[in-house]
Structure 1
Amino acid sequence: MNRRDLLRSTAAAGVLAPAAGLLTGCAMGGDSGGDKFTNQGEKTADNPFGVKEDVPLEVVIFNGGFGEEYARAHEAMYTEKHPKAAIKHSATQEISKTLQPRFVDGTPPDVVNNSGGGQIDFNGLVSQNALADLGELLDAPSLDLPGKTVRETLLPGAVDVGSYNGKFLVMNYTYTAYGIWYSTRLFADRGWQYANTWDEHIALCKTIKAAGIAPWTYPGVHPRYMSWPVIATAIKLGGTDVAKNIDNLEPNAWKSDAMKTAAEAWHQIVKDGYILAGSAGLDHKQAQTAWSQGKAAFISCGSWLENEQKSVTPAGFNMTVAPTPSLGAGDKLPFAALRGTAGEPFMVPAKAANRPGGLEYLRVMLSRKGAQDFTRKVSSLTVVAGGTGGVELPFGLTSVTKALEASGGDTFNWLYNAYYRKLERNLVDAACGEFFSGRSTPAEFLDQCQKGADSIAADSSVAKYKRA
């Protein structure tokens, strides 16, 4: 091992030591704010970032539910525009372990799909100025929609998710609907109807269990998947301030009346035995496979589910997404309201050797053609308006588009998971594990979540962000 490798390994060890791959305390060598791109050429109308034609581009993709092949189409579009630029493509499920050493020594890739359970914590990246400002990307002309800027081609809310205190730093590419999934074929065969109210849902669970099928399963290895319907239920009951207070680390936000009522409702699923036995030991793929095999009727997930399960889903299964049931007439949001948000984060590091190329690559992704290619390959929506035009959508994704259309202006989201990864991936995750395995009460569950939020709020080493 030479001196450079030794220093790099030593620095990486210090970075990787904190829980959840936090970058707090390490020197990231971030953006000074006024520096020029090292490899920047002349800017023109057709080359708004000044990409140098012969400068290579390095792209690292998270190899998760969407795989990596979709990136090949985007890379081909980039090569078509810049044929002299060699592209280095790689994919991994361990973004943090693979790339944190390179952020530390100042040699990150040009584009990073920072996703999955092993992603690098965004709080550390943002607080240490390790990410390039993507505002220039938003103001650039669309690649294939004349007369429009990139910003003008994006769906509402797409920029908010990747903004930190007003600065756009992360481009979340997919537009994801989160809800409760079930098989329309199973329901049709059994004569069941999806329930719009909570009382009806519990009655349906009783019917399903009597038929010898578990009403629910969930990935007990990643129990935060079940925090999503609990929080969604609370938001529909109490309004969007429920989410804003949680995002802003307000005192007792997790103990609001709406959260208490929602937690008590979902506890009924646990105490009445409506969860598939052994779910607490399943990872997400195992739980989803059990569900697609008909062992359980419901599962909580985002709209990447269809693509992630395509190799094991039976023909004619016809999965569909639905909103969480309404608790009652007092809900502030209608039944059709569901969580919809941009996801699958991409970033251009501040120290990227080819920052102009990184920005151009994101512009390629946000073109109409780039969006259509992605949707065609992985059965998922993007943040590009009209990105499904000319694409034949599978059954599940069609249900997603219908659900988002029905939700309309009542579509909601929360951001605490983007602001404070440790809070969701470690603290809330652990609380959900205790709650949905029956080892804690609703009050204990919320108390554990609140203590986690309070610990983040009191930690001066964690940068804080405010949602308006």
Structure 2
Amino acid sequence: MTHPGEITRRQLLRRIGLTALVAGPGAGLLSACATGAAEKPSAAPSAAATASGLVSATNPFGVDAKKPLEVVIFSGGFGDAYAKEVHEALYTKAFAGVSVKHVATQQIGTQLRPRLVSGDVPDVINNSGPEALDLAALAAEGHLADLTPLFDAPSIDDPGKKIRDIVTPGVLENAKIDGKDLVLNYNVSHRGLWYDAKLFQAKGWMVPKTWDEFKALGEEAKKEGIALFAYPGQVGPYYQTWNLLYTAAKIGGNQVLIDIDNLVDNAWKADAIRKSVDAWVEIQTKYGDKSYFGLDHTQTQIKHLQHKVLFYPTGSWLENEMVKDKPKDFEYALAPVPEVTGMDRMPYGAIMIGVGENFVVGAKGKNPQGGLEYLRIMLSKEGARGFTERTKNLTVVNGAAEGLELPPGMVSAAKLQDAVGTNVITDARYEGWYKELFDYSNTQVNAVMAGRINTDEFIENVQKKADEVKADSSVSKQTRNA
């Protein structure tokens, strides 16, 4: 049975190009298939309507090659080489003599909020990381260009197809704010518990499938001086927020997350949320280390590489983010969250697979036409393949990764994706829709995991905040069906 929010394995794999990936030395081919104003401003004119260049089949937005383009990239787990060496290079090749200003930062909010207020708006923004901007607020203020012309534009590789025809459906489903296409999610990510496969092999440990097995392994790890689990309490506490929510979805099904995103009354009081929080608080209390609450993601990931942490909850960008620090004998692999209750709605093996890494075009920038074309270039097979080659992560462009050799962690994630069937955990969209609520939930996750509040207090606190957001008429409300 396919539940709401779930996707067909074969359809997803075909559309993101996992049907014929070279898995790496000795692995062969993967099996057969393999995120407000009370009064909204008037809508900004579409980029195509204000184009000053010559519209043509190869220049559908009428980009003026004399206009410079500014691209701001979040230089986090994916770095920024893919933008400089691939996408920007392709843009300058398409428009000879054009100037592209490249800005890389890990502080998107700190750098861009003053600029947005002053009217000095970049053309393309990779809105990601701990300081990601509130997309719903930007939409309400008219800062985000309409991407419908992009999705309706011809594909660079096959002009007979529109962009919307060559990307995985999650792109279109997650593009909308207030019913408008405003956000491009570019990356396909896998989230779960990451571990060192070679360490497990050397110790003779099996990846736990049940919560009792998980705790038993915690006892064994404790004897070795290893924390069973850790997450970064600073600059990355949302990793554990994701982990709690995806565990809750595994217990109670994707409807748990859909209700949270839709601000359904008492959604945070669902029994699956309670069981998830209780389970992870127990793990932290018995087998964790509170010192990690003071570390950021990079520091915690170094500890992971040093075998001071067994399981680390994050996404498939991890392997590329730590490529310069990873010892040669450390082999990343992805594990699902173990069976929690013995009666979880989703079986063991269910993992979160979704689209992410937001890109937006500044509607009030100097060159929104160029911004749209830049995204179109990103969605070409050459642009997508270049991203995968440099980041070892997949894009949303159908088939762009076929034939590429991927590192062990990505191969591990792909194998889990193959095995999970239709039991895919959906993403939690309130992160982008209601940033105040998401940020608050992160503080409460830290509080409950550290033992400063209990599960009841966590649930009451976050539900109260959700109720406040729902009652605030100045906050634009979003809805999802799956």
TM-score, shorter chain, exceeding 0.5: yes
1:415 corresponding residue in structure 2: 429
Question: 1:157 aligns to what SS in structure 2?
Answer: helix
1:225 aligns with 2:278: no
C-alpha RMSD of the superposition: 2.0
- Asked if the contact 1:37/1:356 (under 8 Å) is kept, the reply is no
What's the offset of the Cα at 1:264?
1.6
Q: How does 1:328-339 map to 2 (within 5 A)?
A: 328-339=341-352
Query: 2:443, 2:290 → 1: CA distance?
Result: 19
8 Å CA contact 1:39, 1:55 repeated in 2: no
Residue identity in the other structure for 2:458: F
CA distance in 2, matches of 1:441, 1:241: 24
Gaps of 5+ in 2: 1-35
User: In structure 2, which of residues 51, 60, 68 is the aligned counterpart of residue 56 of structure 1?
Assistant: 68
Q: Which has the higher contact order (CA 8 A, sep 6+)?
A: 2
Question: Which residue matches 1:47?
Answer: 59
Counterpart AA for 2:81: E
Q: Which residue of 2 aligns with 1:188?
A: 201
2:326 corresponds in structure 1 to: 313
Residue 466 (structure 2) pairs with residue 434 (structure 1)? no
Amino acid corresponding to residue 130 of structure 1 in structure 2 = H
Task: Between 191-200 and 87-96, report the one with greater CA deviation.
Answer: 87-96
2:374 corresponds to which of 351, 361, 373 = 361
- The equivalent of 1:5 in structure 2 is none
Q: Partner residue of 2:267?
A: 253
2:100 aligns with one of 77, 87, 90: 87
Q: How does 1:60-459 map to 2 (within 5 A)?
A: 60-72=72-84, 73-221=86-234, 222-272=236-286, 274-411=287-424, 412-425=426-439, 427-459=440-472
Following superposition, the deviation at residue 36 of structure 1 comes to 6.3
Q: Distance in 1 between matches of 2:436 and 2:317?
A: 23
- Taking structure 1 as reference, are residues 104 and 31 closer, same or farther at Cα in structure 2, changes over 3 Å only? farther
Displaced runs of 4 or more, over 3 A? 24-39
Judge which range, 251-260 or 333-342, deviates more: 333-342
Q: Determine if contact 1:29/1:351 at 8 Å carries over to the other structure.
A: no
Q: Distance in 2 between matches of 1:131 and 1:404?
A: 33
CA distance in 2, matches of 1:78, 1:264: 50
For residues 156-214 of structure 1, what are the alpha-carbon distances to aligned partners after superposition, in whole Å with 9 as ceiling and x for unaligned?
A: 31222221133110111111111000000110011111111222212221222123221
Deviates more, 1:334-343 or 1:96-105: 96-105
Can you list the C-alpha shifts for 1:3-36, whole angstroms capped at 9, x where unaligned?
xxxxxxxxxxxxxxxxxxxxx4699977434786
Provide the rounded CA distance (Å) in 2 between the counterparts of 1:145 and 1:55: 27
**Paired amino acid for 2:284:** V
Contact 1:379 1:394 in 2 (8 A): yes
- The 3-state SS of whatever aligns with 2:169 is coil
Whole-angstrom distance in 2 between the partners of 1:37 and 1:353: 14
CA distance in 1, matches of 2:46, 2:242: 40
Is the Cα contact below 8 Å between 2:262 and 2:480 reproduced in 1? yes
Superposed CA offset, 1:407-461 (max 9, x none)? 3432222211010112122x11111111111222222222222122122222222
Deviation, structure 1 residue 150? 1.1
Q: Matched residue of 2:248: which SS?
A: helix
C-alpha distance in structure 1 between counterparts of 2:421 and 2:42, whole Å = 39
Gaps of 5+ in 1: 1-23
In structure 1, the residue matched to 2:9 is none
Whole-Å separation in 2 of the counterparts to 1:360 and 1:30: 24
Q: Which amino acid aligns with 1:71?
A: A
Pick closer, same or farther for the CA change 1:218–1:36 going to 2, 3 Å. Answer: closer
Q: Which amino acid aligns with 2:70?
A: E
TM-score of the superposed pair, with normalisation by structure 1: 0.90
CA distance in 1, matches of 2:407, 2:124: 29
Q: What is the Cα deviation at residue 37 of structure 1?
A: 4.5
Q: Secondary structure in 2 aligned to 1:154?
A: coil
What residue is the counterpart of 1:8 in the other structure?
none
- Contact 1:181/1:319 (8 A) holds in 2: yes
Q: Report the Cα distance in structure 2 between the residues aligned to 1:438 and 1:339, rounded to whole angstroms.
A: 27
**TM-score, normalising length: structure 2:** 0.87
Distance 2:433 2:148 in 1: 19
Distance in 2 (alpha carbons) for counterparts of 1:373 and 1:231: 32
Partner of residue 464, structure 1:
477
Q: Residue 374 of structure 1 contacts residue 380 of structure 1 at CA under 8 Å; is this kept in 2?
A: yes
The one-character-per-residue Cα deviations of 1:93-141 (angstroms, maximum 9, x if unpaired) are: 2222322233223331111111122222112101222111101111111
Deviation at 1:239, TM superposition (A): 1.2
Percent sequence identity over aligned pairs? 42
Shift of 1:90: 1.5
Distance change >3 Å, CA 36–CA 361, structure 1 → 2 = closer
Separation of aligned partners in 1, 2:359 and 2:216? 43
Q: Is the 8 A contact 2:189 2:317 kept in 1?
A: yes
Whether the 8 Å CA contact 1:270–1:438 is kept in 2: the answer is: no
